[in-house]
Amino acid sequence: MGIPRPFDSVRYTVGRELVLDLLDEAPDRPPVAERPGYQQFTKELRAHADRHLDGTPGYFLLSGLDHLTEDQARRFAPLASAALGDLLPQDGRGTLLREVRDRGVELGEGLTGRYSDTRHGGNLHTDSPHRPGTVPDCFALYCVHQAASGGSLVLVDLRDLTARLGDRPDLLKSLEQPVHFDCRDDTPGAPRTVVRPVLQDTGGGTYRAHYLREYIEIGHGHESVTPLTAEQVEAFDALDALLADPALQQTDRLREHEMIFIDNRAVLHGRTPFTDGPVEAAKRLMLRTWITFR
């Protein structure tokens, strides 16, 4: 018996027959949404979401998917995600299933360089604080391949952060001020920045987070945007120090053909840096969806 890992208590096996039934595209089969198996699967997934996303620890995993080919995984990931809500586009081209892998770029590079295109760790954040419109409530990662080394997920519960900031109400107030996130979009006509607070008060002393510091710094570097104040910088430094505190981090590694669903409202996430191997099977590849709850 090894030491229990954070993912151990929230890992659920999906039956092989059920998955194959969902992926069956024979012309005589009814649409997936009308199949009893999918309806049951949806019910179970929503129960996991109620318990672990609305509740704790803010994430859960599906396993038992090792028998899927990569092609089948690319069909399964959006199907499973759609059981929880509506899929949101992840770029200006409307991509609903995005590959997260090392594209050899740097975070914040050029007009479009994004965290999900790098192999670096750190920079804990929420997903999509920078896209106009609806921010995903949840996102999912389907692990097709793991890296040769590194690439563990690092998760921090927002409630732990705000509790630790409780003795600095001035910093909490500062984090509730709207800031400009660079949109990371070079589509002609697209806005350069989107404005939202890092901490959005959702009532009763709870918050929803929107955070990726690099995008905020790029956003406030635009000529038309006022620079960040000293108070804002102090608040981000305090937040980053807490995000880097191992006592607040849950760190674990997805196995190949596991899919994790992470609450994007109240969990900040990042990863440890990773190094890919020379062959495709040793290059980290995650398939990501962004989900808004109905």
Using CB under 5 A as the criterion, which residues of the chain lie in contact with Fe ion when the complex forms?
127
- 214 or 217: CB nearest Fe ion: 214
CA distance 180 to 233: 14
As measured in angstroms, the least distance from the Cβ of 28 to Fe ion is 40
Which residue number, 257 or 288, has a Cβ lying nearer to Fe ion? Answer: 288
Ordered alpha helix ranges (H), the chain: 16-23, 36-52, 70-82, 158-164, 169-175, 213-219, 230-243
Sole residue written with tokens 């607040």: 248
For the CB of residue 114, give the shortest distance to Fe ion in the complex, in Å: 9
With CB atoms as reference, the residue minimizing the distance to Fe ion is 127
Q: Residue 254's closest CA among 26, 62, 69?
A: 62
Q: Which is nearer to Fe ion, 102 or 127 (CB)?
A: 127
Instruction: Give the closest residue to 163 by CA, choosing from 151, 152, 171, 155.
Output: 171
Cβ 115 to Fe ion, closest distance in Å? Answer: 6
Instruction: Please identify, using beta-carbon distances, which residue of 32 and 254 lies nearer to Fe ion.
Output: 254
Rounded to a whole number of angstroms, the minimum distance from the CB of residue 103 to Fe ion is 14
Greatest extent of the chain over all pairs of C-alpha atoms, in Å: 64
Q: For residues 218 and 205, what is the distance between their CA atoms, to the nearest angstrom?
A: 30
* Residue among 125 and 257 whose Cβ is closer to Fe ion: 125
Sign of CA dihedral 125, 130, 135, 139: negative
Tell me the closest approach of the beta carbon of residue 97 to Fe ion, in angstroms.
15
State the minimum distance, in angstroms, from the CB of residue 156 to Fe ion.
13
Q: Three-state SS string across 77-130, please?
A: HHHHHHCCEEECCCCCCCCCCEEECCCCCCCCCCCCCCHHHCCCCCCCECCCCC
Nearer to Fe ion, 127 or 185 (CB): 127
